[in-house]
Amino acid sequence: MFKKNKYLKAVQGVSFDLFKGETLGLVGESGCGKSTLSRALIYLDPPTEGSILFQGKELSSMTSEQIRSIRKDIQFVFQDPYSALHPLKKIGQAIAEPLQVHQITLGSKETKIRVLELLEAVGLAASFYERYPHELSGGQRQRIVIARALATEPKLIICDEAVAALDISVQAQVLNLLNDLKEQFDLSYLFISHDLNVVKYMSDKIMVMQNGLLVEYGEADDLYINPKKTYHQITHWSLPR
Protein backbone atom coordinates (compact mmCIF):
# COMPACT_ATOMS: atom_id res chain seq x y z
CA MET A 1 0.00 0.00 0.00
CA PHE A 2 3.03 2.28 0.34
CA LYS A 3 4.27 1.64 -3.17
CA LYS A 4 4.32 4.52 -5.61
CA ASN A 5 1.73 4.41 -8.36
CA LYS A 6 3.06 3.50 -11.76
CA TYR A 7 1.69 5.29 -14.80
CA LEU A 8 1.77 4.33 -18.44
CA LYS A 9 1.35 7.09 -20.99
CA ALA A 10 -1.24 5.82 -23.45
CA VAL A 11 0.39 7.55 -26.42
CA GLN A 12 3.85 9.11 -26.41
CA GLY A 13 6.48 9.90 -28.99
CA VAL A 14 4.10 9.21 -31.88
CA SER A 15 4.70 11.28 -35.00
CA PHE A 16 3.39 10.51 -38.48
CA ASP A 17 1.89 11.95 -41.66
CA LEU A 18 -1.24 10.73 -43.43
CA PHE A 19 -1.62 12.00 -46.98
CA LYS A 20 -4.67 12.42 -49.18
CA GLY A 21 -5.71 9.14 -50.80
CA GLU A 22 -3.42 7.11 -48.56
CA THR A 23 -4.19 4.23 -46.21
CA LEU A 24 -2.06 4.24 -43.10
CA GLY A 25 -2.20 1.01 -41.12
CA LEU A 26 -1.86 0.98 -37.34
CA VAL A 27 -1.13 -2.37 -35.73
CA GLY A 28 -0.36 -3.49 -32.19
CA GLU A 29 -1.57 -5.68 -29.37
CA SER A 30 -4.62 -4.81 -27.27
CA GLY A 31 -3.94 -1.93 -24.87
CA CYS A 32 -1.01 -0.49 -26.82
CA GLY A 33 -2.75 2.87 -27.44
CA LYS A 34 -4.27 2.44 -30.92
CA SER A 35 -7.82 3.52 -30.04
CA THR A 36 -6.57 6.26 -27.70
CA LEU A 37 -4.57 7.71 -30.58
CA SER A 38 -7.58 7.62 -32.90
CA ARG A 39 -9.77 9.45 -30.37
CA ALA A 40 -7.06 12.03 -29.77
CA LEU A 41 -6.99 12.85 -33.48
CA ILE A 42 -10.48 14.36 -33.28
CA TYR A 43 -10.15 15.62 -29.70
CA LEU A 44 -12.54 13.13 -28.14
CA ASP A 45 -9.57 12.51 -25.83
CA PRO A 46 -7.62 15.78 -26.12
CA PRO A 47 -3.85 15.17 -25.93
CA THR A 48 -1.96 16.70 -23.02
CA GLU A 49 1.09 17.45 -25.17
CA GLY A 50 2.09 17.68 -28.80
CA SER A 51 0.19 18.97 -31.81
CA ILE A 52 -2.31 17.62 -34.33
CA LEU A 53 -2.69 19.26 -37.72
CA PHE A 54 -5.56 18.52 -40.08
CA GLN A 55 -5.18 20.01 -43.55
CA GLY A 56 -2.57 22.36 -42.13
CA LYS A 57 -4.73 23.61 -39.26
CA GLU A 58 -3.66 23.09 -35.65
CA LEU A 59 -6.54 21.60 -33.66
CA SER A 60 -5.34 22.89 -30.29
CA SER A 61 -5.84 26.48 -31.46
CA MET A 62 -9.43 25.85 -32.55
CA THR A 63 -12.61 26.59 -30.66
CA SER A 64 -15.00 23.78 -29.73
CA GLU A 65 -17.28 24.81 -32.57
CA GLN A 66 -14.44 24.66 -35.08
CA ILE A 67 -13.42 21.20 -33.85
CA ARG A 68 -17.01 19.99 -34.24
CA SER A 69 -16.89 21.24 -37.81
CA ILE A 70 -13.67 19.30 -38.43
CA ARG A 71 -15.32 16.11 -37.15
CA LYS A 72 -17.67 15.88 -40.12
CA ASP A 73 -14.54 15.50 -42.26
CA ILE A 74 -13.24 12.65 -40.04
CA GLN A 75 -15.60 9.73 -39.54
CA PHE A 76 -15.29 6.39 -37.72
CA VAL A 77 -16.13 2.79 -38.54
CA PHE A 78 -15.94 0.70 -35.36
CA GLN A 79 -15.54 -2.99 -34.68
CA ASP A 80 -18.99 -4.11 -33.60
CA PRO A 81 -21.68 -3.61 -36.25
CA TYR A 82 -24.33 -4.97 -33.86
CA SER A 83 -24.00 -2.21 -31.26
CA ALA A 84 -23.28 0.55 -33.80
CA LEU A 85 -26.89 0.85 -34.98
CA HIS A 86 -29.93 1.83 -32.91
CA PRO A 87 -32.25 -1.20 -32.90
CA LEU A 88 -35.41 0.93 -33.17
CA LYS A 89 -34.23 3.13 -36.05
CA LYS A 90 -34.73 2.10 -39.64
CA ILE A 91 -31.65 1.89 -41.83
CA GLY A 92 -32.61 5.04 -43.75
CA GLN A 93 -32.79 6.99 -40.49
CA ALA A 94 -29.45 5.61 -39.31
CA ILE A 95 -27.60 6.65 -42.47
CA ALA A 96 -29.21 10.10 -42.45
CA GLU A 97 -28.37 10.73 -38.78
CA PRO A 98 -24.92 12.35 -39.37
CA LEU A 99 -26.55 14.89 -41.67
CA GLN A 100 -28.73 16.01 -38.78
CA VAL A 101 -25.94 15.91 -36.19
CA HIS A 102 -23.66 18.09 -38.33
CA GLN A 103 -26.54 20.30 -39.44
CA ILE A 104 -26.09 19.58 -43.12
CA THR A 105 -29.35 21.00 -44.37
CA LEU A 106 -31.11 18.91 -46.97
CA GLY A 107 -34.82 18.60 -47.56
CA SER A 108 -36.49 15.29 -46.82
CA LYS A 109 -36.55 14.34 -50.50
CA GLU A 110 -32.88 15.22 -51.02
CA THR A 111 -31.93 13.37 -47.84
CA LYS A 112 -33.64 10.19 -49.02
CA ILE A 113 -31.94 10.45 -52.41
CA ARG A 114 -28.59 10.85 -50.65
CA VAL A 115 -29.25 7.81 -48.46
CA LEU A 116 -30.28 5.67 -51.43
CA GLU A 117 -27.10 6.70 -53.26
CA LEU A 118 -25.05 5.62 -50.24
CA LEU A 119 -26.85 2.28 -50.05
CA GLU A 120 -25.99 1.68 -53.68
CA ALA A 121 -22.37 2.72 -53.07
CA VAL A 122 -21.93 0.03 -50.39
CA GLY A 123 -23.61 -2.64 -52.50
CA LEU A 124 -27.06 -2.76 -50.89
CA ALA A 125 -30.48 -2.47 -52.52
CA ALA A 126 -32.85 0.44 -52.00
CA SER A 127 -35.20 -1.90 -50.09
CA PHE A 128 -32.81 -1.75 -47.11
CA TYR A 129 -33.99 1.83 -46.50
CA GLU A 130 -37.08 0.62 -44.61
CA ARG A 131 -35.49 -2.33 -42.81
CA TYR A 132 -34.33 -2.58 -39.19
CA PRO A 133 -30.88 -3.66 -37.98
CA HIS A 134 -32.12 -6.99 -36.59
CA GLU A 135 -33.10 -7.99 -40.13
CA LEU A 136 -29.51 -7.69 -41.37
CA SER A 137 -26.44 -9.92 -41.17
CA GLY A 138 -23.22 -8.70 -39.58
CA GLY A 139 -21.66 -7.93 -42.96
CA GLN A 140 -24.74 -6.01 -44.08
CA ARG A 141 -24.75 -4.01 -40.85
CA GLN A 142 -21.13 -3.06 -41.32
CA ARG A 143 -21.93 -1.89 -44.85
CA ILE A 144 -24.64 0.33 -43.33
CA VAL A 145 -22.13 1.71 -40.82
CA ILE A 146 -19.76 2.48 -43.70
CA ALA A 147 -22.57 4.19 -45.62
CA ARG A 148 -23.35 6.29 -42.57
CA ALA A 149 -19.69 7.29 -42.28
CA LEU A 150 -19.79 8.47 -45.89
CA ALA A 151 -22.90 10.62 -45.40
CA THR A 152 -21.01 13.80 -44.51
CA GLU A 153 -18.55 13.40 -47.43
CA PRO A 154 -15.55 12.96 -45.12
CA LYS A 155 -11.94 13.24 -46.16
CA LEU A 156 -10.64 10.72 -43.62
CA ILE A 157 -12.24 7.58 -42.23
CA ILE A 158 -10.76 5.91 -39.15
CA CYS A 159 -11.45 2.17 -39.29
CA ASP A 160 -10.98 0.87 -35.75
CA GLU A 161 -10.94 -2.96 -36.00
CA ALA A 162 -13.62 -2.56 -38.69
CA VAL A 163 -13.63 -6.21 -39.78
CA ALA A 164 -12.55 -7.98 -36.58
CA ALA A 165 -16.10 -9.09 -35.68
CA LEU A 166 -16.88 -10.50 -39.14
CA ASP A 167 -16.42 -13.97 -40.60
CA ILE A 168 -13.34 -14.43 -42.77
CA SER A 169 -15.27 -14.54 -46.05
CA VAL A 170 -17.24 -11.43 -45.11
CA GLN A 171 -14.03 -9.69 -44.03
CA ALA A 172 -12.65 -9.99 -47.55
CA GLN A 173 -15.82 -8.51 -49.05
CA VAL A 174 -15.78 -5.53 -46.68
CA LEU A 175 -12.06 -4.90 -47.21
CA ASN A 176 -12.52 -4.89 -50.98
CA LEU A 177 -15.50 -2.56 -50.57
CA LEU A 178 -13.40 -0.15 -48.50
CA ASN A 179 -10.71 -0.12 -51.19
CA ASP A 180 -13.31 0.55 -53.90
CA LEU A 181 -14.85 3.39 -51.87
CA LYS A 182 -11.43 4.87 -51.28
CA GLU A 183 -11.00 5.32 -55.03
CA GLN A 184 -14.59 6.39 -55.65
CA PHE A 185 -14.72 9.06 -52.95
CA ASP A 186 -11.01 10.01 -52.85
CA LEU A 187 -10.72 9.00 -49.20
CA SER A 188 -7.86 8.56 -46.78
CA TYR A 189 -7.96 5.79 -44.17
CA LEU A 190 -6.37 5.25 -40.81
CA PHE A 191 -6.82 1.48 -40.62
CA ILE A 192 -6.44 0.09 -37.11
CA SER A 193 -6.17 -3.63 -36.44
CA HIS A 194 -4.38 -6.26 -34.37
CA ASP A 195 -4.17 -8.45 -37.50
CA LEU A 196 -0.95 -7.80 -39.39
CA ASN A 197 -2.12 -9.58 -42.53
CA VAL A 198 -5.26 -7.45 -42.83
CA VAL A 199 -3.30 -4.26 -42.23
CA LYS A 200 -0.70 -5.23 -44.83
CA TYR A 201 -3.42 -5.95 -47.40
CA MET A 202 -5.04 -2.55 -46.90
CA SER A 203 -2.17 -0.18 -46.23
CA ASP A 204 0.34 1.92 -48.11
CA LYS A 205 2.30 2.51 -44.90
CA ILE A 206 2.20 0.79 -41.52
CA MET A 207 2.81 1.99 -37.96
CA VAL A 208 3.43 -0.41 -35.09
CA MET A 209 2.65 0.59 -31.51
CA GLN A 210 3.73 -1.10 -28.29
CA ASN A 211 3.00 0.16 -24.77
CA GLY A 212 2.01 3.58 -26.08
CA LEU A 213 5.13 3.99 -28.19
CA LEU A 214 5.56 4.03 -31.95
CA VAL A 215 8.19 1.33 -32.50
CA GLU A 216 8.08 1.02 -36.31
CA TYR A 217 6.81 3.16 -39.19
CA GLY A 218 7.41 2.59 -42.88
CA GLU A 219 6.23 1.38 -46.27
CA ALA A 220 3.90 -1.59 -45.89
CA ASP A 221 5.81 -4.06 -48.08
CA ASP A 222 9.21 -3.15 -46.64
CA LEU A 223 8.02 -3.33 -43.07
CA TYR A 224 6.21 -6.64 -43.62
CA ILE A 225 9.13 -8.34 -45.42
CA ASN A 226 12.03 -6.81 -43.49
CA PRO A 227 10.78 -6.00 -39.99
CA LYS A 228 13.10 -4.89 -37.24
CA LYS A 229 13.71 -7.10 -34.23
CA THR A 230 11.11 -5.24 -32.17
CA TYR A 231 8.54 -5.94 -34.84
CA HIS A 232 9.11 -9.70 -34.60
CA GLN A 233 8.70 -9.51 -30.84
CA ILE A 234 5.27 -7.91 -30.87
CA THR A 235 3.59 -9.33 -33.96
CA HIS A 236 3.85 -13.07 -33.42
CA TRP A 237 0.30 -12.97 -32.00
CA SER A 238 -1.15 -11.66 -35.27
CA LEU A 239 0.38 -14.13 -37.69
CA PRO A 240 -1.66 -17.11 -38.92
CA ARG A 241 -1.07 -20.41 -37.19
pTM as predicted:
0.88
Same domain, 138 and 164: no
Domain boundary pick from 153, 177, 206: 153
Same domain, 162 and 146: no
96 versus 106: which is more confidently predicted? 96
Domain boundary pick from 99, 122, 153: 153
Alpha carbons 152 and 111: distance in angstroms, whole number = 11
Provide the pLDDT confidence category of residue 105 given band limits of 50, 70 and 90. Answer: confident
3-state SS class at 179: helix
- pLDDT confidence of residue 240: 35
Same domain, 149 and 160: no
Alpha carbons 13 and 173: distance in angstroms, whole number = 35
Domain range enclosing 33 = 1-73+156-241
Domain boundary pick from 153, 178, 205: 153
Q: Answer whether residue 221 shows pLDDT above 60.
A: yes
Q: Answer whether residue 228 shows pLDDT above 90.
A: no
Same domain, 129 and 239: no
9 versus 62: which is more confidently predicted? 62
Beta strand residue intervals within the chain, DSSP E: 23-27, 53-54, 57-58, 74-77, 156-160, 188-193, 205-210, 213-219
Query: What burial class does residue 158 get, using C-beta atoms within 10 Å of its C-beta: 0-12 exposed, 13-18 middle, 19+ buried?
Result: buried
Provide the pLDDT confidence category of residue 192 given band limits of 50, 70 and 90. Answer: very high
Q: State the total domains in the chain.
A: 2
Distance of CA 171 to CAs 79, 185, 195, Å?
12, 21, 12
2 versus 26: which is more confidently predicted? 26
Name residue 178's amino acid: L
